[in-house]
Amino acid sequence: MMRFLLLFSRQGKLRLQKWFTPIPEREKKKIVRDMTTMVLARKPRSCNFLHWKDLKIVYKRYASLYFCCGLDAEENELIALEMLHRYVELLDKYFGNVCELDIIFNFEKAYFILDEFLLGGEIQETSKQVVSRAIEASDMLQEVRCCPVGTDLRSVFPSS
Amino acid sequence: MVMNISMSCSTRAMSPSVRLQEMIRVIRGARTQGEERGVIQRECAAIRAQFRQADNGTRSHNLAKLLYVHMLGYPAHFGQMECVRLIASPRYNEKRVGYLGAMMLLDEKQDASLLITNSIKNDLSHNSQYVQSLALCTLACMGSAEMCRDLAPEIDRLLRASNSYIKKKAALCAVHIVRKVPDLGELFTPAARSLLCEKNHGVLHGAVVLITELCERNPDTLEQFRKVVPELVQIMKGLVMSGYSPEHNVAGISDPFLQVRILRLLRILGRNNDTASDAMNDLLAQVATNTDSSKTAGSAVLYETVLTVMDIKSESGLRVLAVNILGRFLLNNDRNIRYISMTSLQKIVQTDHNAVQRHRGTIVDCLKDQDASVKRRALELSLALVSAVNIRSLMKELLLFLSSCPPELRAHTTSGIFNAAERYAPSQRWHIDTILHVLTTAGGDVRDETVPNLIQLITTATELHCYTVHKLYRALITDISVQSLVQVACWCIGEYGDLLLRGECEETEPVQVTEDDVLDALETVLQSHMSSPATRGFALTATMKLSTRITHNVDRIRSIVSIYGSCIDVELQQRAVEYNALFKKYDHMRAAVLERMPVIDKSSPGHTNGESAGGIKELEQTKLTQEVVLPKDPGNQVCDLLDLLGGSGEPVPSSGLSHTVPGPATSTSGGDLLDLLGGLDVSPAPPSVKVYEKNGVTLKLQTDSQTDTGMTITLTATNSTDGDITSLTLQAAVPKSVQLQMKAPSGDVIPARGLGLVTQTVLLNNPNKVSLKMRVRVCYSSQGAVCQDTVQIDSFPSPAW
């Protein structure tokens, strides 16, 4: 299973953190520090796989953001790379040409999307369309409940 | 106030998180850490105030703001109860943020987490699947064992009755529950089985993950699920053979995520089971051959296939295919692929050694890769591939690697090289040359034992003494910064300086060296600030030794020694004072004390010998010297270990050379001749058992110490006849999984009439904890006749303590 997923910038600022096992707050901070130090120190065309304690670390850089996950030793690193890529694709589809600022200002959406893609450290849905449709439906549910009575809902629904 | 929020944000007309984004903007606008802290403190205060108020429609925004602040690293525990409240709200947007907050701020260790159990339970039966989804997600993320036990039946219900959107989430929730409370695995087994019939990929994936988890935890369940191998094979076939499916296609592979999980499950089911392995053989061959590996997705599937093939009981043809795939991966341009290829090869290098050897060339090339991870893998693999056949060529590559390898790998490389050299050295000269090369290149990164090990090796290579001392002298005058090298060089020059001065050497071009040149070199070491105290000790002793090997410049040595008699370093001072005494009062002994060392027995470093004639002489002041027993001929090498317990494969290796020489105690790391015998332990006599008694020769066995996985015993031989027993040798054999190491015996002569004894210590290492037995073969000459007997020892006495 995946133990954690972190997104951080090139300056080491954390943009998203998802933990799939219970870890004390202090240790979380330490892990984040270790990951950012290790990953940011890597040269540009390095291998995307690292070893840290008993975990496999897989990371990939997308523009100004590093996507970094910690996996159990029996996981397949190559498919983990594909997993990270799939998440980026989902973000991209949702935000339209996603960039770091999208994730900063809409971090809760990034989490919602992640929670439709992974569950308990495992992939829950392998189809891009199904995940995207679920997010849209949830968003609609959220907005319908938020609008004051009488609003023309057509102005609220996103054009999908 | 203009709110210019959205950069390339979503084009929603009305965004409810306006205030959140505004806060984020302000925080990001802070120019210093202090300013940021100020902003956040103000915001948190406002949030706290809002939390205390009644419901005003802004609760979810405030919690979202708090979560942002939390991600920046600021404390947010005061939001925990708000999460609990929001989760219980009927509004979806509030629930959503509440659950998100619970996953971020609560874990099973917080008390507040228990409070949401009821909400989760209710939401699991909510009529909106999106609300159910929130509950499932949260439970799978942070559900404690107690919560899991509480809600497991609910999850099981959802596994059977719901739509695929919920089923796939329930399956992964069940996985989490099983991880937390393994006993609950039984509850989910039937549902897991029926989920395999689903067509929906999300559900299938979840089912496969669940079944994998169940099988890994329970061998009975594993047995049960072996029956579904044909079904899994069918599903895989469907995926591999299917045409282009836009919904699941990744770079030409149909749902690689699902394929990888199925392959992993097949691995677990096929392991150690012929029937299951047979059933999947064809499929694996098909996947291995048909999968396009030009992109990562395909390579990921191939990689998993290879891992499965190597782990189950596959046909040899399939195994060869798998190793060849790994070989192909080694040539891939993608560094990641090369890396995982090597990690896989590392796993199989012991079992499929020959297959991996075929790719040795490519692996060795990877030593030159730019990437540190790839280099590390290549090093591990290269070291594992060293054999007697390829040692020369492979060592060249390793030495080349050493000269340019990253600093964090140097220590590992040097010890790997030494191990390989020790096991497979084609000749002693090659061995010495290799070690010297390593010391010159990376002498600072070698382990401490390297120096004594090298010295021991040099002493045993008797024909090469001249060559070695020449080589080391040349190294010394070039560079004295590498301590390990300098120490060995000093020792050699001290020991074999006469050969150096003789000016003739067969193996290498001799140097014309004068006595002054040699003494200059040693004095440079003595005086250099680069030399460590230990190194200076070596240099001083070497200088002293030369006093018996040179003819003209003994006075110079005398003066060096007397100068260091007042050196501030206590160790050097003591040595110098003692050497001074050797020049003055004990000059008659000097030649004997300083003469050529015997071959050092590798199996007993610093072994204090009970049989040294002369014992200890206490002199005035605090010096102690011993009379050195002149060594006898090394004689025949003793084959310590013969497997007498029935035909076996390779003999248990004896550690280095073992001679029946009662050499004097030599402390290897100082070459310190004036080693003290004072430390003879007089331990209380532990119980000893008589194992052999014949012809007046008695052999007793006592256990010195014992652990779970080994023991140390001592064999003691005595002689009650009127004549000495000579040429005594003891050989021992043990069961195959036990490792045996015999230390050098104290001697090979047992004096007559019980006036003396011979002891020999044996170390037994029994990692598999088999029952220990030993056969001992006793050989000796008594009154002109050679006797040989074998005794079997089935039980060992208990140790003294």
Higher per-residue pLDDT: B685 or B636: B685
Please indicate if any CB of chain A lies within 8 Å of the CB of B130.
Answer: yes
The overall average pLDDT reported for chain B is 83
Q: Which residue of B has its CA nearest to A26?
A: B73
Distance from CA of B206 to the nearest CA of A (A): 6
Show which of B567, B594, B621 is a domain's final residue: B594
Q: Within the 175-194 window of chain B, which residues sit less than 8 Å (CB to CB) from chain A?
A: 175-176
| pLDDT at residue A154 in the model | 54
| pLDDT at residue A155 in the model | 52
Q: Residue B70's closest CA among B32, B101, B115?
A: B101
Distance from CA of A42 to the nearest CA of B (A): 9
* Number of neighbours of residue B361 by Cβ within 10 angstroms: 11
**Residue B760 falls inside a structural domain:** yes
HSE-CB for B27 with a 13 A CA cutoff: 22
Q: What is the DSSP letter of B63?
A: H
Distance from CA of A78 to the nearest CA of B (A): 5
Q: How many CB pairs under 8 A join A and B?
A: 191
Q: How many domains are contained in chain B?
A: 2
Distance from CA of B77 to the nearest CA of A (A): 11
Per CB-CB distance under 8 Å, the chain B contacts of A115 are 137
- SS3 (DSSP) at B328: helix
Q: Do B257 and A126 touch (CB under 8 A)?
A: yes
Per CB-CB distance under 8 Å, the chain A contacts of B250 are 82, 86
**Residue B700 falls inside a structural domain:** yes
Q: What are phi and psi of B27, to 5 degrees?
A: -60, -40
**What predicted TM-score, i.e. pTM, was given to this entire model?**
0.70
Q: Identify which of A49, A97, A143 has the shortest CB distance to residue B373.
A: A49
Q: Identify which of A104, A125, A137 has the shortest CB distance to residue B24.
A: A104
Distance from CA of A150 to the nearest CA of B (A): 15
Higher per-residue pLDDT: B406 or A127: A127
Residue to substitute from A23, A75, A82, interface B, most B β-carbons within 10 A: A82
Q: What is the pLDDT of residues B514-540, one digit of tens each?
A: 888 889 999 999 999 989 999 999 999
Q: Over the Cα atoms of chain A, what is R_g? A: 17
pLDDT band with cut points at 50, 70 and 90 for residue B230: very high
HEC secondary structure over B727-784: EEEEEEECCCCCEEEECCCCCCCECHHHCCEEEEEEEEECCCCCCCCEEEEEEEEECC
Per CB-CB distance under 8 Å, the chain A contacts of B205 are 123-126
Show which of B559, B594, B629 is a domain's final residue: B594
Task: Please identify which residue in the block is written with the tokens 């004689």.
Answer: B635
Higher per-residue pLDDT: B295 or B677: B295
Alpha carbons B148 and B156: distance in angstroms, whole number:
11
**Residue B487 falls inside a structural domain:** yes
Q: Identify which of A14, A48, A127 has the shortest CB distance to residue B336.
A: A48
Do residues B526 and B486 touch, judged by C-beta distance below 8 A?
Answer: no
CATH assignment at residue B707 = 2.60.40.1230
**Residue B260 falls inside a structural domain:** no
Distance from CA of A133 to the nearest CA of B (A): 11
Alpha carbons B514 and B546: distance in angstroms, whole number:
13
Show which of B594, B615, B636 is a domain's final residue: B594
**Residue B323 falls inside a structural domain:** no
Integer angstrom CA distances of residue A127 from A142, B210, B258, B292? 23, 19, 11, 20
Higher per-residue pLDDT: B753 or B202: B202
Give the contacts of B770 (CB within 8 A, at least 6 positions apart).
B735, B737, B738
Distance from CA of B205 to the nearest CA of A (A): 7
Question: For B1-91, where are the alpha helices, taking DSSP H only?
Answer: 18-29, 33-52, 59-71, 80-87
Do residues B258 and B201 touch, judged by C-beta distance below 8 A?
Answer: yes
Q: What is the pLDDT of residues A87-109, one digit of tens each?
A: 999 999 999 999 999 999 999 99
Q: What is the DSSP letter of B667?
A: B
| pLDDT at residue B722 in the model | 82
**Residue B744 falls inside a structural domain:** yes
| pLDDT at residue A146 in the model | 52
| pLDDT at residue B632 in the model | 40
Q: What are phi and psi of B739, to 5 degrees?
A: -105, 140
Per CB-CB distance under 8 Å, the chain A contacts of B335 are 45-47
Distance from CA of A10 to the nearest CA of B (A): 15
Residue to substitute from B3, B5, B7, B9, interface A, most A β-carbons within 10 A: B9
Q: Residue B180's closest CA among B137, B140, B122?
A: B140
Per CB-CB distance under 8 Å, the chain B contacts of A107 are 67-68, 71
pLDDT of residue B633 exceeding 80, the answer is: no
Residue to substitute from A126, A131, A144, A151, interface B, most B β-carbons within 10 A: A126
Q: Identify which of B9, B303, B371 has the shortest CB distance to residue A78.
A: B303
Per CB-CB distance under 8 Å, the chain B contacts of A71 are none
Instruction: Give residue B482's domain range.
Output: 462-594
* Number of neighbours of residue B602 by Cβ within 10 angstroms: 20
Q: Do A49 and B100 touch (CB under 8 A)?
A: no
Q: What is the pLDDT of residues B696-748, one digit of tens each?
A: 888 888 888 888 788 888 888 888 888 888 888 888 888 888 888 888 888 88
Give the contacts of B280 (CB within 8 A, at least 6 positions apart).
B229, B232, B233, B266, B270, B308, B312
| Whether B466 and B590 share a structural domain | yes
**Residue B491 falls inside a structural domain:** yes
**Residue B503 falls inside a structural domain:** yes
Q: Which residue of A has its CA nearest to B129?
A: A138
Please indicate if any CB of chain A lies within 8 Å of the CB of B529.
Answer: no
Please compute the mean of the pLDDT values over residues A72-80 and round it to a whole number: 95
Please indicate if any CB of chain A lies within 8 Å of the CB of B242.
Answer: no
Do residues B314 and B278 touch, judged by C-beta distance below 8 A?
Answer: no
Do residues B120 and B158 touch, judged by C-beta distance below 8 A?
Answer: no
How many contiguous H segments (helices) and E segments (strands) does chain B have?
33, 12
Per CB-CB distance under 8 Å, the chain B contacts of A81 are 296, 300, 336
| pLDDT at residue B800 in the model | 57
Q: Which residue of B has its CA nearest to A43?
A: B371
Do residues B58 and B52 touch, judged by C-beta distance below 8 A?
Answer: no
Distance from CA of A95 to the nearest CA of B (A): 6
Q: Identify which of B7, B71, B176 has the shortest CB distance to residue A14.
A: B71
Strand order in the sheet with B785-793: B725-733, B774-782, B785-793
Please indicate if any CB of chain A lies within 8 Å of the CB of B300.
Answer: yes
